[in-house]
């Protein structure tokens, strides 16, 4: 190996060592951070719950909670899955949109709409602990 090569390899290692031991570390977080993150999540879950019982999501006053108390029978752990009458495999948010359009006679939400995120946060939170079974009918 040439002298030049040896030097460049040494420099590379040096760089990596510096990265590992230096004060600018990779994504590190403390207990306090974890608590804060969890609170922010739970705030979104709470928003989702508000939407869940709200008569204003659709146009006819029907709320998600009327048919899905505590988000039961939504089965978020089974998505994505084939939904027969959507004709394709869909993730959870597309199914939520089907409900918004049909029983609630309202408008669908974009996948990244904060309301959609909140709804999904609530639905999955109420189903926490259930193992994933994507595709299950």
Which residues would be at the binding site for other proteins (CB under 8 A)? 8, 11-12, 15, 53, 60-62, 65-70, 72-73, 75, 82, 84-89, 98-99, 101-103, 126-130, 137
CB of residue 127 to other proteins, shortest distance in Å = 5
CB of residue 69 to other proteins, shortest distance in Å = 4
Q: Which is nearer to other proteins, 33 or 69 (CB)?
A: 69
- Cβ-contact 109, 97 below 8 angstroms: yes
d(CA 58, CA 70): 19
> Other C-beta atoms within 10 Å of 15: how many?
10
Q: Which tokens go with 62?
A: 């029907």
Q: Which is nearer to other proteins, 33 or 53 (CB)?
A: 53
Q: Which is nearer to other proteins, 86 or 110 (CB)?
A: 86
Give the CA distances from residue 37 to residues 41, 43, 71, 124, in Å, rounded to whole numbers and listed in that order: 6, 10, 23, 17
- Cβ-contact 71, 122 below 8 angstroms: yes
Q: Which is nearer to other proteins, 21 or 73 (CB)?
A: 73
> Other C-beta atoms within 10 Å of 122: how many?
24
d(CA 96, CA 135): 16
CB of residue 87 to other proteins, shortest distance in Å = 4
CB of residue 125 to other proteins, shortest distance in Å = 9
CB of residue 21 to other proteins, shortest distance in Å = 17
Q: Which is nearer to other proteins, 36 or 136 (CB)?
A: 136
């Amino acid at each position: 190996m040439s002298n030049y090569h040896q030097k460049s390899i040494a420099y590379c290692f040096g760089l990596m060592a510096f990265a590992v031991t230096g004060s600018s570390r990779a994504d590190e977080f403390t207990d306090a951070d974890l608590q804060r993150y969890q609170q922010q999540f739970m705030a979104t879950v709470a928003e989702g719950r508000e939407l869940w019982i709200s008569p204003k999501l659709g146009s006819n006053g029907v709320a998600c909670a009327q048919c899905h108390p505590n988000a039961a029978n939504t089965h978020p752990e089974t998505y994505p899955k084939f939904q027969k009458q959507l004709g394709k495999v869909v993730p959870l948010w597309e199914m939520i949109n089907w409900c918004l359009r049909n029983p609630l006679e309202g408008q669908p939400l974009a996948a990244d709409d904060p309301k959609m995120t909140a709804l999904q946060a609530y639905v999955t939170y109420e189903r926490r602990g259930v193992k994933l079974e994507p595709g299950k009918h």
